[in-house]
Structure formats: C-alpha cells, structure tokens
Structure 1
C-alpha cells in the first residue's frame, strides 16, 4: 500500500466524487484511495452507493462531480472500453454457444490478439482459476462455481490493472460461496492485481479483504482493516451492520457502565451464568442481571436473548463445544447474570444512530 512520500501511485484515486440521480445523492463527495495489489471491499446495504461507485470506476456511469484516476491517468471522461479495468458481475454472462476456452479467449479476439498468443494466455488464465482440463466443456456442463471461475478467467486474461467484482458470489449456495471466498483471495494473491469487491455480505468482506469501506447513504461510514472494523466500530451503524452488536446507551449505560454515552459489546464477549453464581461487580467487570427471553440454536453456536433488569435487551453467543446444548435450550425464562470486561466495551460517544435497535444483526 502506498505510504506518505511514496512515488508509487494508488491503483485508484477518487476525489470529490459525486453521482446524483435527480434529488437522490447516490454518491456524495467521496474521497478514496485504493492501493496497487490490494483486495478492497465496498460493503453496505442496498442503496448505500457501493455499486454506483463501482460503476463510476468502470466507466458505466458518468460522475456528477469529482475525478477518477487509475494509476497516474485521469479517466473521468474516458469511456469504459478504454479503461484498464475489467468487471465480473453476479450474472456471469458466459456465451452458451462457446466452450470454456472460447469464452476466455473472446476479449482477446476482439482486441485482435494473434491466435497462438491468445490461446497461450487463455490457458494460463484457466490454470490460474484451477480449470485445467475444462477447456472443451460447454457452460451447461459446468457447476455454478466453475462458471464463476470461467467469468473470472475471462476478465483476468486481459491483464487489467484493476478487477472490479460486483457481488460475483451472490448466485452460489452457502457452502460453495464460502469455498469460493477462500479461492478468490488466493487467486488475487497469485495474480497480484487490485481487486475491488462489492458485497452486502459482511462475512465475505471480512474473509477476503485487506481493507473494507462500509457505505451508508452515499458516504463511507468507516474505512479500516477487517479486525479494526469488527473490534472497533466507529459508529452505531457499523456496529450493527458488521456482525451482531449489543448497544448500551442512555440510562442503561449510566447504570451498567457508570457513565453516559453509547457503548458496544459483541455477543461473544459476554458471559452468562445462573443468578446464584453471579460475581460481584468490580472496577474491571460489568454485571447485569436479567431474564432469558429466547434461545436460538445455530449449529456451531447458540444465541441467548436476555432482557436486562436495567431495561435493555442483549444477545449472548457461545460456541457449542460440549454436550450441554439441551441445558442451554432450557434456560428460557430463567434468571441469569451477564458479565463482560470493561475493556471489551467500545465507546461510540453520543447517542445511537436513529432507528438502530439495541441488538441489530447483519443483513
């Protein structure tokens, strides 16, 4: 990643970038730099502006204001076909009348690359996405994951400076999507080019990214590495969108934390014990009695929803690493005590964002 004083330009530089559709500010005065060789994700709910930014970078939309620079070239007014980028969409758009090799070669044929050269490069691209031996197959003979790899190879064969990926795993089932997350990150490391990945799935973003920009209403709410984004959310919106968060605020914060403000504690940081085993509160520990209102079994983990005497509702998560699942499921309506370390609280300062509930799970 370029550092201050570095002579290496960023792969992408966006300055004052805006896109308005009538009265709607889809992208609002955005400044962003994405480094060469970085796996960068734009994460956010539908309508947050992330896909519009991707389309602006690709050249499919013209900005209302601002500049787009690829490397050291201003491409703000350059048409899409003349930009050194390629895009992979959720709809792979593979030509059904062509075999795999012909699909991958297609972009090189349009550019009039010699047959021997395009064949060599297409075979290299197929090897990169681990599809050696599939060159003669037709798209209908491929699985969903294999078709996704063909689309990826077709983009990589052009050797773009930047590869743009618009929710390319969205059509895959959960198991295959998780496998492809790992493979896609490995492919990015192998080819060494900049990947810009758009998703609304926080697990995808956390799994693959070097950095993540969380979008909300056309602006970046927080830009950080995955660990920082999860462990130190900058706002109630980020805390609620990236993972599951317990927000403690107002009078509840005054009672449990000892001061006013808005605080976040993640469900896996909270411990739950029977009321009879409650530890005394101390300078390093918060203690909150309450009643279990719901228990949700999720296979690898169990979530318990607890209504606190102080007035808030918190979620507790623990891994199902033993055979006490039945006991956990029988805790509904039982009195319990929740505890967490004070250093596990993240302060968000003032009040929570409007419309944010005490417990908000990732969409």
Structure 2
C-alpha cells in the first residue's frame, strides 16, 4: 500500500505553475527524497502533503484517506524544518513533549514517550538540558524526536540538514537513515543536495519546473540518467552530442558518460580502439586537486570539453598536476555510455531498466 498518493496535483501562484499535474506514489516505510534546484516545486509538494498549501487541482491521499481538504492538524504527518523551531525557554524533554501536551496526553505517558523518542535519536541523558546547551546536530535531533514522538504515519523533512557544517551533515545523513529503518516510518525528504539524496534514499524524484524529470533508485539515477538535466544535476557528467558524437562515436544523438569512467593516458600509450574502447585526443586545460580525487578538464580535438576524475595515490598526484597544457588521450568503454536519445552505442535508460 502507498503511504502517500498524489493524483493530478497542481499548484499555481498567479502565472507560475509551481507544481504541474503531478502523479506520485510513495510506499509505506520508504525513505523517499525529492531533489531539485530552487524553484523546481519540491518544497511546494511537501507543503501540499502537509496541508500548508491548498492545491489548485488534484488530490492528496494518505493511505486510503483523501486528506486534500483537511487542515494540517488533521493529517497524520509531522514536519521537521531546517530552522528546527525549538522553544528556547523549554528543556529538551519539554520540547519533545510539546505536541503530546497539545493533544492532552496524560503526563506520565507523555514523559515516557518523550524519553523513548530521545533514546531513538541517541539523546539519552539530555532531557533536562536547554537548547542553547546543545550543538547544531543535537538540536536537529531534538526536532526529529519531537516529530517522532507523535508516531505519525509520515514524517516530512524540509532540508533539515542545511544549517549544519559539512562533516556534521554527513554524519547526520547516516544517522537519519538508521533511525528511519529502526522506526519504520515513511520519510519524505526535500533537498537540493544530491549527495544527501544519494546517501539516504530508497528512491529519488528529480524535480524540474514543477514536474518530475526522473523517478528512480540512487543507482539508477546516477548510472542511467533519463535526461541531460538529470545527468547535469546529479553528479558531474560529460555530454557528447552533435558533431562530437558523430566524430568520436560514429553516431548522431546525445550521450553521457561519468568522469570516473574515463581514463587518461599519454599519447604514446593510446589504444587502437579495436576492442570497443572509445579514443579521444585532447589537451589538459586545468587540473583541480580535491584531496581524495583529482579532476582534469580536457579540451578535445573533436571540439568538446570532458572532465576526468581519478582517485589519488602517493604516486599519481604530482603526475596529474604536471599534465596541465599537455596533450593526452582519453579512453572509455562504449558500454559505459548512456544514450539520452534512446539509441546509440550505450543503452538508453528505458532499455537498461526494462
């Protein structure tokens, strides 16, 4: 059964179609992410599910119940926001209990449930602290506990990690996924950060201009993007099209290949390409050292610019940095090409998922 079903859902603001005739099913117990740039419609969809916005047309169902016309407090969902909205004058336990107090849950019961929720988010022993005594990650967990204590059917998360620093954000990505597995609640997570979505999600919907460009698992989304928009937004992609694809591949169309699937060798070590290997000559324009990896930007003789990524080792770093302005040969396997036009040497997204 679907935890959430959206049918023909649209939301217009004057002449802007923020959400445009959307159909979507989210399964029970799923960690589902809505990914896209600012203004793509993902947050508006979340607000429509929560009841904070009224749809222009279409229906919102939670399980078998049509909740389109219900106010937020009559929907079995809770929302965690980026700013946490924790009451500074209350203790951690009082913050977590707040929703239960509103529902007039007896004192002993709400205290028990609050402590259980704090244990779920790994905050045992923090019940009597005030929010100003907590780190950013701990405050985020308090907001999560406050949402979980109500035992909602669906938990909506609106970019809750956006205010955290990079290291803490990555730690919380793993924590959130583990918590979701333990409690078994459907999580709907909104983000513009592709790493967050790829790390945590069971499935991801990539939004663009109020519509879903592609709905897939993280692996399918990254390895088999369905459009040039998805290929460019999720990770780094190299596009080969027009005259470049005709010259290098002998075929018309638009093809994508990820930087880590491209190898770079000196011109005197270039393969002949008879074994299905694609070969392209060019000159290294720039080398970008990123710690664990190095990206080399190569201007091809055929006219395109490709990025090559490789893991750094003790011997490879200096050699990579010295390649700037030098001629090189790029190679890749034809099987690693993905056709965005549905034909060509690489399998199309539709063909590979059939």
Bin of the TM-score, shorter chain as denominator length: over 0.9
Q: Does the aligned pair in 2 maintain the 1:303–1:317 contact within 8 Å?
A: yes
Q: TM-score, normalised by structure 1?
A: 0.94
Corresponding position of 1:326:
318
Distance in 2 (alpha carbons) for counterparts of 1:196 and 1:32: 12
Cα RMSD for the two superposed structures = 0.9
Deviations 1:147-194 (A, max 9, x none): 000000000000000000000000000000000000000000000010
Distance in 1 (alpha carbons) for counterparts of 2:166 and 2:248: 39
Q: Does the aligned pair in 2 maintain the 1:268–1:318 contact within 8 Å?
A: yes
Q: Does the aligned pair in 2 maintain the 1:262–1:350 contact within 8 Å?
A: no
Which residue of 298, 306, 310 corresponds with 1:314? 306
Q: TM-score, normalised by structure 2?
A: 0.96
For residues 82-231 of structure 1, the aligned pairs below 5 Å read 82-231=74-223
Residue 98 of structure 2 aligns to a residue whose secondary structure is helix
Task: Give the CA deviation at 1:349.
Answer: 0.7
Residue 2 of structure 2 aligns to a residue whose secondary structure is coil
Corresponding position of 1:288:
280
Residue 213 of structure 2 aligns to a residue whose secondary structure is strand
Residue 349 of structure 1 aligns to a residue whose secondary structure is coil
Residue 340 of structure 2 aligns to a residue whose secondary structure is strand
Q: Does the aligned pair in 2 maintain the 1:214–1:221 contact within 8 Å?
A: yes
Task: Say whether 1:42 aligns with 2:50.
Answer: no
Distance in 2 (alpha carbons) for counterparts of 1:78 and 1:321: 58
Task: Give the CA deviation at 1:258.
Answer: 1.3
Distance in 1 (alpha carbons) for counterparts of 2:103 and 2:231: 46
Task: Give the CA deviation at 1:299.
Answer: 0.4
Q: Does the aligned pair in 2 maintain the 1:295–1:328 contact within 8 Å?
A: yes
Corresponding position of 2:292:
300
Task: Give the CA deviation at 1:283.
Answer: 4.8
Q: Does the aligned pair in 2 maintain the 1:105–1:118 contact within 8 Å?
A: yes
Task: Give the CA deviation at 1:257.
Answer: 1.1
Q: Does the aligned pair in 2 maintain the 1:262–1:347 contact within 8 Å?
A: yes
Residue 313 of structure 2 aligns to a residue whose secondary structure is coil
Task: Give the CA deviation at 1:282.
Answer: 2.1
Gaps of 5+ in 2: 344-354
Task: Say whether 1:339 aligns with 2:325.
Answer: no
Aligned residues: 343
Distance in 2 (alpha carbons) for counterparts of 1:211 and 1:137: 37
Query: 4+ runs of 1 displaced by more than 4 Å?
Result: none
Which residue of 233, 240, 248 corresponds with 1:248? 240
Distance in 2 (alpha carbons) for counterparts of 1:255 and 1:233: 23
Distance in 2 (alpha carbons) for counterparts of 1:265 and 1:25: 32
Task: Give the CA deviation at 1:350.
Answer: 7.7
Distance in 2 (alpha carbons) for counterparts of 1:321 and 1:15: 51
Gaps of 5+ in 1: 1-8, 352-363
Residue 83 of structure 2 aligns to a residue whose secondary structure is coil
